[in-house]
Structure 1
Amino acid sequence: MTLEQAIALRKAIDPRYRAVVLLGYWCGLRFGELTALRRSDVDVSRSRIHIRRTAQQTVGGVVFGPPKTAAGRRSVPVAKSVMSELCDYMEAYTGADCVALVITSSAGTPLLRQNFLRRTWRPALAQAGLPAELTPHSMRHGYASLLIAGGFSVKEVSTWCGHASTSITLAVYAHVGSQQADDAPDRLDNLLSSLDEPQP
């Protein structure tokens, strides 16, 4: 998912579920992580989100548990503009209790993936004129690609995404690095010219 697609989706989706896009694309959370997020996990003062649990849908309903790996338990930095929008969202849709889920269904229950896809996600894609094959996981890929293209290190991207190792990040997003290599001569020129500038 590109940034332009994410912006279009954020505008098209039902406002009650706008935080799915904010957390999925602008924070890189997995669907199970963002649906398990509680108010206390949102650190507004430090502009960070703490991933402490994940939600898994079972025959009996939604079960909350710890992330599958140690890397999954992490702190994710959030752009202050995104945090501000998330705070507005929580003011409108999230319960006041510190353990209240940030995102719930209209009935106040944990979000079920298939119901969400059918009732909200796919209609929003259609309304925004976006490809039907985009999934919530496409937002996470878009987030990581955006960071790498923006010059963030593989280590940072790996940590924020909760990858078990940087090799996973490199394997999945090598295509972004190869695109960056195309402008390597220009970037090298910029670096060298800045180093060659006479000192005052």
Structure 2
Amino acid sequence: MRIGELLALKWADVDLEQSKLRVTKTLYNPNNNYREYQLLTPNTTGSVRTIKIDEMLVSMLRKHRIVQRESKMKNRQIYNDKGFIFARSDGHPQLRKVIEVRIKRLLKKAEINKNITPHSFRHTHTSLLIEAGVGIKEIQQRLGYSDINTTMNIYAHMTANMEEKASHQFSKLMKDLLL
């Protein structure tokens, strides 16, 4: 997901029983002011989508919801409950800047000297899907691109590597059959 889509997620967007979530909005907050944000529709119709999630993420979301409920109770005098999954302790949506700073702090602590942004995880997810052999059409839908050409243009270098790998695998298979 894009960081704005993630920060806009509300509990009403998640179906933990069916292991899926629905992306219908994006958080727009250019000034990083926790009170001054807008929830906008995503850029394209393809960006509105349902994403299947795995059991590990479902479990993590359930645990997060319990912790969040405890935080709501503790801060009930100031908690502004708008249903955000990734809310601050006062209920307002978390700021993008906070996520970016935490990533930098974790990278420094882990002694990783790379410029990793929240969007980097989206690219990594896509790379892993391609490596796992997931089709481009499925990846396009999961990422929320309206046009498959966008997906192909962004990730063409990865699919080229997969084509080379497929060629070598096919060659090995044929060699084994002929010997």
With the shorter chain as reference, the TM-score category is 0.7 to 0.9
Q: Which residue of 2 aligns with 1:111?
A: 94
Q: 1:191 to 1:103 in 2, by over 3 A?
A: farther
Are 2:40 and 1:72 equivalent residues in the alignment? no
Checking the alignment, whether the CA contact within 8 Å between 1:122 and 1:132 is kept in structure 2 is no
Q: Matches of residues 1-200 of structure 1 in structure 2 within 5 Å? A: 29-59=1-31, 61-93=36-68, 100-118=83-101, 120-188=102-170
State the alpha-carbon separation in 1 of the partners of residues 110 and 91 from structure 2: 26
Q: Which moves more between the two structures, 120-129 or 164-173?
A: 120-129
Identity among equivalent positions (%) equals 26
- Superposed CA RMSD in Å reads 2.5
What stretches of structure 1 move > 6 A for 4+ residues in a row? Answer: 190-193
State the alpha-carbon separation in 2 of the partners of residues 192 and 49 from structure 1: 43
Secondary structure of the corresponding residue to residue 64 of structure 1: strand
1:100-153 residue CA offsets vs partner (Å, 9 max, x unmatched)? 1000123332112224323x2211221223334110000001111111111111
Count of aligned residue pairs for this structure pair: 164
Larger Rg: 2
State the alpha-carbon separation in 1 of the partners of residues 11 and 157 from structure 2: 36
State the alpha-carbon separation in 2 of the partners of residues 171 and 78 from structure 1: 26
**Counterpart code for 1:90:** R
Q: Which residue of 2 aligns with 1:19?
A: none
Q: Which residue of 2 aligns with 1:9?
A: none
Tell which has more relative contact order, 1 or 2 (C-alpha 8 A, sep 6+): 1
Q: Unaligned regions of 5+ residues in structure 1, if any?
A: 1-28
